[in-house]
Structure 1
Amino acid sequence: MNKVSVIIAAYNVEEYIDDCIKSILMQSYKDIEIIIIDDCSTDTTKEKLSKYTSEKIKIIFSDENSGPGGARNKGLDDATGDYIFFIDSDDILHPDAIRDMLQVSLKSKCDIFAASYFKFSSILNVGFSHKINFSDISKIDKIDFILKRGFAPWGMLIKSNILHGVRFPVHMVGEDVVFTPLLLDRANSMLYSAEKIVGYRFLRSGSVSEGVTKHNKSMLDALNILRSYRNISKEYLAFISFYIFRHIYSSSIKYHDFELLNNKNSEINNKYINLNLNYRDKLSYKMKVEFFLIRKHLIYKNNIFLFLYSLFYKFITILRRNG
């Protein structure tokens, strides 16, 4: 059998960690090792983890806090599986997810097989009542992957041999913005299904929904790190740059925090003015409009384009709410 290493980075998740671990222990596929890294939690997460005695579980207690990236790196260094699966410590996994994803991965010999998720609130008692049906599997490239899933490293089955030399940056927010593009650049073949196999918990206390400027600056730091890798093509880096800028603009508007987008702020307006894109055919009409307005704002430093982007963002938001 092919062993799957499930890696869980945990920090101050005393309310949710049990749900996550139980969803992994209940997997129908049994050749699994569960590596949980406690990143110096200050609540009762450590005590909860210490109660687990299953031979499938290995718990690592970090000596110092290094963020989700550093914690996941420790898990990768200890993993012995043929495949790697990341899941966040407050999320849950369909009981047949690993079994069914592995079947597809082995049959297709793909390096990465990614699936989708649904959101649920902490106040709801949520489980999985449906059977997994991977009938919509499609081959994708790294641009398709980012367009469908962003930079999230969880919810995908990864061949461990393509992870050699690929690690998360430590002590930073948005560590997946560096890790995932580097990982995708290593993969020779990728598959995607819109089937929802992960329950993604939202609106919990402690999640990143404040400190928008700090978070967005971390994304710019991640972009700087990616720019230092010489083996990344200019076209790929240009697309990643656009995707990061798109997030910065939309989150700034959503949370009314325009510090980074201020015309006097050279950190964004001068450093990244040469934003090019050779993947326009893959973009939706909405994203093409976003690209046009963002690029114009960066080049001309005229807030009329920021105002137009804000109107467009609000218009799209209203359309989504109304179905």
Structure 2
Amino acid sequence: MNLVTVIVPAYNSSRTIERCIRSLLKQTYSHKEIIIVDDGSTDNTPFICHKYMESFDIKYYSAPHGGVSAIRNLGLEKANGEYVMFVDADDYVKKNFIEKMVSALETAKCDMCICSYLRVVYNDCYPIKEFQKGGIVSRNKYLIDTLKDPGHHYFGVIWNKIFKTDIIRNNNIRFSKDITLGEDFVFSLEYLRYAKKVNVIEDKLIYYCYQDVNTLSRIKEKKISDCEKEMDNRNLIYKTYVDVMKNTGLFSKYQKQINRYWIFFYLRQKYDLIFKYKWSKEEKTLWLKEISDNKNVIEALKKYKKSEITTQYACYIVTQTTKNIIKEVIKIIKN
């Protein structure tokens, strides 16, 4: 039985981290080490972690506040397992999470495994859209699948995946400190450079919890500076995306589809400017111009017909409207 290291990054997670820790302690897979890396929390997170350290074999490290990439890298430095997994302190997992993922990796002799998850909104669970059918796929087929919705949580996050420590260390794969949003996707892409096969399992093993508060990855009331930071991050992510696609020989054939990464961003921003951002007219005009002047957005729009973009925008509006209605209904019911 191979040792599995589970890294839990935490920052002011006192409301949720105990639930996360308990779900990891209940795992059916016993040969594991749990490493909590605290990003300089100022609430009760350290107290809760130390409480569990006294009774269970949990390792806890704290570092000055420097962002999730820095503390995940610290977790990788401390990891002793043959395999590495990540779980966010906001979320929790089913008791067979590690066992299922390890089995899928080893039985199929793959380099990475990915599972599905349940989205938790106000304590009710909802399945996500299915992006892949279960089964073993080549690294290139997996990358082609990401084109269905580049950067979607399913592909973009690391907490629904298991990695081999040797591949990470032998190729010096780390989380980029220059990227503060979407760093998970870059890590996965860099890892896939060196992977050969991926096992896709349809089991929903994780509870991804919607938080109606500001977290490491969600800002409730965005300012223009937040949006500018996101676009800067996307420029860096896209550079890696293109580089990996070129490195694997997929770029030429799938160049148009790769640009959906920017089409989705462009349409989401148009939607948010109308329905979400509480800005002045001048601020909205300024941000729309910044988006339109982005070279990657310009190139992406050239590759799609207006009718294609209009259809995609209509689909996005329907999807977002439905999501918002469901959230509000659930919120009313819960209150």
What TM-score, normalized by structure 2, do the two folds share?
A: 0.74
- Written as runs of structure 1 = structure 2, the 5 A alignment for 1:131-170 is 136-139=134-137, 140-145=141-146, 147=148, 149-164=154-169, 165-170=172-177
Assess if the C-alpha contact under 8 Å between 2:104 and 2:201 holds in 1: no
Give the 5 Å matches for 1:65-76.
65-76=65-76
1:310 matched to 2:325? The reply is no
**Deviations along 1:108-132, whole A, 9 cap, x unmatched?**
11111110000113x4288xxxxxx
* C-alpha distance in 1 between matches for 2:286 and 2:78: 39
2:61 corresponds to which residue?
60
Is the Cα–Cα contact under 8 Å of residues 177 and 219 in structure 1 kept in the other structure?
A: no
Deviations 1:153-205 (A, max 9, x none): 11112121111211111152221232121112221110112210000000331
**Residues 259, 22 of structure 1: alpha-carbon distance in 2 compared, 3 angstrom cutoff:** farther
* More moved, 184-193 vs 144-153: 144-153
Q: Distance in 1 between matches of 2:285 and 2:236?
A: 16
Structure 1 distance, partners of 2:212, 2:27, is 25
Look up the equivalent residue of 1:35 and give its one-letter code: I
SS in 2 for 1:186: coil
SS in structure 2 at match of 1:169 = coil
Structure 1 segments unaligned to the other structure (5+ residues): 127-134, 276-292
Deviation, 1:263, is 4.5
SS in 2 for 1:88: coil
Q: Which residue of 2 aligns with 1:14?
A: 14
Q: Secondary structure at the match of 1:311?
A: helix
Partner of 2:280: none
Tell me if 1:262 matches 2:288.
yes
Q: Which residue of 1 aligns with 2:182?
A: 174
C-alpha deviation, 1:141, in angstroms: 2.3
Deviation at 1:222, TM superposition (A): 2.8
| Within-5 A mapping of 1:54-133 | 54=55, 56-62=57-63, 64-121=64-121, 123-124=122-123
Higher normalized helix content (fraction of residues): 2
- Identify which of 238, 259, 267 aligns with 1:223: 238
How far residue 146 of structure 1 moved from its aligned partner, in angstroms, is 6.1
Identity of aligned residues (%): 25
Pick closer, same or farther for the CA change 1:146–1:3 going to 2, 3 Å.
Answer: farther
Unaligned runs of 5+ in 2: 126-132, 278-283, 327-335
Amino acid at match of 2:109: K
Contact persistence 1:151–1:181 (CA under 8 A): no
> Is residue 203 from structure 1 mapped to residue 211 from structure 2 by the alignment?
yes
SS of alignment partner, residue 7 of structure 1: strand
Over the aligned positions, Cα root-mean-square deviation in angstroms equals: 3.5
Equivalent position of 1:279 in the other structure? none
Deviation string, structure 1 residues 21-60 (Cα, Å, up to 9, x no partner): 1100100111000111000112221221121225531111
Aligned length, in residue pairs? 290
Following superposition, the deviation at residue 239 of structure 1 comes to 7.2
Matched, 1:42 2:42: yes
Greater mean deviation of Cα atoms: 46-55 or 304-313: 304-313
1:11 is displaced (CA, Å) by 0.7
Secondary structure at 1:262's aligned position in 2? helix
SS at match of 2:13: coil
2:209 partner SS: strand
3-state SS of paired residue (2:52): coil
For residues 37 and 44 of structure 2, the distance between their equivalents in structure 1, rounded to whole angstroms, comes to 14
Instruction: Tell me, in whole angstroms, the C-alpha distance in 2 between the residues paired with 1:125 and 1:310.
Output: 28
Q: Shift of residue 99 of structure 1?
A: 1.1
Find out whether 1:251 has 2:273 as its counterpart: no
Q: Deviations over 1:278-316 (max 9, x none)?
A: xxxxxxxxxxxxxxx67348xxxx9x9876653342245
Q: Deviations over 1:228-252 (max 9, x none)?
A: 7897357449578524314412431
- Inter-CA distance 16–273: structure 2 relative to 1 (3 Å threshold): same
